[in-house]
Structure 1
């Protein structure tokens, strides 16, 4: 039988020349050596159904990128750092073949790179990104086998170490089968009849090692959504799990499942990740913890041990699922693939070294040490200066003609709280953080009685008196109900990049708003001071001028008890509900608290009142990767 098919493709070398020579990527590429360099090729394919309700229309696009460009830049669609190079035939055929053009990897090609110099570039296939069925297709094995190792098909649910595939042996077996010799290894290894795989002649390529960890398909949509969530629903029931998601407190950027999760019919990777942010606080488990460790951009031996321990904890306790009859077996391909994460990270991650350009590294290290010393000396000098002045400086006083708004924050029409004369500056908790307020307060000249009514701050006056006694002891004016305060509705914290999570700056918005007729107010949680004490921010305000000139805004907060030891089952820290007034720059990070719900959810609880009605909480270390690095990884 014969069938004609269409193969749409282009010359991938042309796109690689465009990417490696694009000056826009110069700052996102690692330093290019003189003369010769390697371009690690990253291929990705995903068979896509074009129509959901009509016909059998599908496409099989193939994408290409290079490892010289940073991960963040490759993820930006507008950057054109990942390009479409062709469509594979999507017909129901029994083979997957492609011409192997290997000369570019053997002899190299001269290209103009981003540094405007000509380099001989060797194109080496380094990674192939695909879902599990496509990995098996590329590896020429059946889907009941692992595309990376020779684990037996009925042992994939056990924490075993198996031999890896030998590409040379597999090519010989496929060649013998093609010639009609029928070797025993063909059936023993579960191979498919692919006689000329596209990777057979690619230089310096082990196709079985190019299958990298896939967070979306293996973790977010795979183990977590398809298995872990299903098991938990079977254990506690849809109604109770939905109730716990409904009362989850709000957090900036967090998807609130106001109707629960059982009503969601169409899931995407975004919903899976949003669910993981709070899932571990509702039900204990080690799989979400494994997912967060796997997302780190920088690993150490300690973090790899934590990654391995999280998987070991799951295997040590998984039999309870069999006893509860919510799972028949653990022979799950994507569960087995988690065992290859540590190996892939150890083999292919870039290892920091002092063997390359060591003189330049030594000079940079000494410059950093000198900069740290100068900064510390400057901060020590600031700490010896008075933090307030008894006179009123009209130049430091802001105007209150209009209110602060989201548009002002987004347009960066903000002023750092510390952007004043050093003589009026209080010591900062973290000099790397910048706290910004709008030019004008959102709620000018608010009386204490109004603050108590709208913000629920019954202890505000007492806390304000304590603040004046501690920080302005020479003040002779006694605060009372007649005083008015200019109140802001949010503060924006700009933090430097966390190299373990991303390369870009982080912007956190802590918004404290009063109750209105259309809905409840916002009283977000926050981490304060270097020891990460947990507080709920009620009011952000400026010191009235009659009490003196103060450089920073202040925040009225309600403290929770100090962080306790992590819960042994979930790894989360438990906190309970004192009030005080602190400097705004003592707030270092927003936080999310999950109420301790027990066997069932209190029927009075809603997402707006759980902070007031619940007595104990868990500090949610999994709300984002930055919080995870600050809290969960310090244990």
Structure 2
């Protein structure tokens, strides 16, 4: 490769840990697939649906097999109770492998590490590798040699080298998908939406810069998070379907209600 002769280039260091896409949405999603191959979708859904509700835990009343485009928060909600749904139904090795991989997920996300936590991180990964063969018994075509699984081997040395994973986790910037992609798509007519999305983002940026300039001219500070005040709610105007006094003459309106110039205004309108 072109970087082979570069004295200070190490492509292995260029791949930093990403807990969201490599673990939560990566190996963790594969784990659910492996468990489903052992239990079956209906059995796993039924067991998760029967778990008693608990504080801060999402209840999957219809199971998880019907979920589409599962978000990271939904994945975490599944992992928080998946052990309760598989114990007693899958082999012990599968339970141990699942528990080890879940422990790896949680320890890898620590914001502070020590020699003890890094040692526990390595031990949980070794425990998973020790028991993972049970998944291949139920799925002979299963191959654990894929990039996201291999990346787990680099978590411990990478944490020692560049720091904790919250520095490189893309979950921090995942919220920008809503502002820069989803909201922009909703503002389009869904036809040739890429051009419309770019134009919408450019205009939003221009409005932001103009608001900052106005605030500077007024000697204030612009806060993009501040929302405009809500308009006061007014009582809706209710019109009667049937007039209470039918067949009123225009002269009666001017005489009884003081509506002067109504006849001339009506002629102009008509």
Corresponding residue for 2:55?
Answer: 252
Q: 1:318 deviation in Å?
A: 1.5
In the TM superposition, what is the alpha-carbon distance from 1:304 to its structure 2 partner? Answer: 0.9
2:25 pairs with 1:218:
no
CA RMSD of aligned residues (A): 2.3
Offset at residue 265 of structure 1 (A): 2.0
**Structure 2 segments unaligned to the other structure (5+ residues):** 87-94, 165-270
Contact 1:290 1:311 in 2 (8 A): yes
Deviations 1:158-181 (A, max 9, x none): xxxxxxxxx952549xxxxxxxxx
Could you list the per-position Cα deviations for residues 572-631 of structure 1 after superposition, in whole angstroms to 9, with x for gaps in the alignment?
Answer: xxxxxxxxxxxxxxxxxxxxxxxxxxxxxxxxxxxxxxxxxxxxxxxxxxxxxxxxxxxx
SS of residue matched to 2:13: coil
The residue number in structure 1 matching 2:39 is: 236
1:169 counterpart = 2:4: yes
TM-superposed CA distance for 1:325, in Å, is: 2.3
8 Å CA contact retained: 2:3, 2:9: no
Which digits, 9 at most, give the CA deviation of each residue in 1:208-263, with x for residues without a partner? 424221111111111111x1111111101111111111122223332211100011
Deviation at 1:282, TM superposition (A): 2.7
Looking at structure 1, the residues matched to 83 and 107 of structure 2 have their Cα atoms a distance apart, in angstroms, of 14
Query: What is the aligned counterpart of 1:262 among 65, 73, 92?
Result: 65
Question: Which whole-Å CA distance do the structure 2 matches of 1:316 and 1:300 have between them?
Answer: 24
1:301, 1:282 → 2: CA distance? Answer: 33
Q: Which has the higher helix share?
A: 2
User: In 2, Cα distance between the equivalents of 1:321 and 1:327?
Assistant: 10
Residues 223 and 335, structure 1, Cα contact 8 Å, conserved in 2: yes
1:314-325 to 2 correspondences below 5 Å: 314-325=128-139
* Residue aligning to 1:274: 77
Which of the residues 147, 153, 172 maps onto 1:333?
Answer: 147
d(CA) in 1 for partners of 2:51, 2:148: 30
**Number of residue equivalences:** 153
- Offset, 1:309: 0.9
Structure with greater strand share of residues:
1
Query: Which residue does 2:156 correspond to in 1?
Result: 342
Does 2:92 match 1:288? no
2:20·2:72 contact (CA, 8 Å) conserved in 1?
yes
TM-score (norm 1): 0.23
- Which residue of 292, 296, 299 corresponds with 2:113? 299
- Structure 1: 5+ residue stretches without partners: 1-139, 141-166, 173-203, 351-635
CA contact (8 A) 2:48 2:60 kept: yes
Conservation of the 8 A alpha-carbon contact between 1:289 and 1:310: yes
Secondary structure of the residue that 2:80 maps to in structure 1?
A: helix
Residue by residue over 1:505-554, the C-alpha shift from the partner in whole angstroms, topping out at 9 and shown as x without a partner, is xxxxxxxxxxxxxxxxxxxxxxxxxxxxxxxxxxxxxxxxxxxxxxxxxx
Post-superposition offset of 1:288:
1.0
| 8 Å Cα contact 1:280-1:288 kept in structure 2 | no
Does 2:124 correspond to 1:310? yes
Q: Is the 8 A contact 2:37 2:139 kept in 1?
A: no
| CA 281–347 in structure 1, closer or farther in 2 if over 3 Å, else same | same
In the other structure, the counterpart of 1:564 is none
Whichever of the two has the greater Rg, that structure is 2
- SS of 1:263's partner is coil
Question: Residues 253 and 217 of structure 1: is their aligned pair in 2 closer, same or farther, counting only changes over 3 Å?
Answer: same
Q: RCO greater where, 1 or 2, for CA within 8 Å and sep 6 or more?
A: 2
Map 1:91-106; keep pairs closer than 5 Å.
Answer: none
> How far, CA to CA, are the matches of 1:170 and 1:246 in structure 2?
57
**CA–CA distance in structure 2, aligned partners of residues 267 and 217 of structure 1:** 12
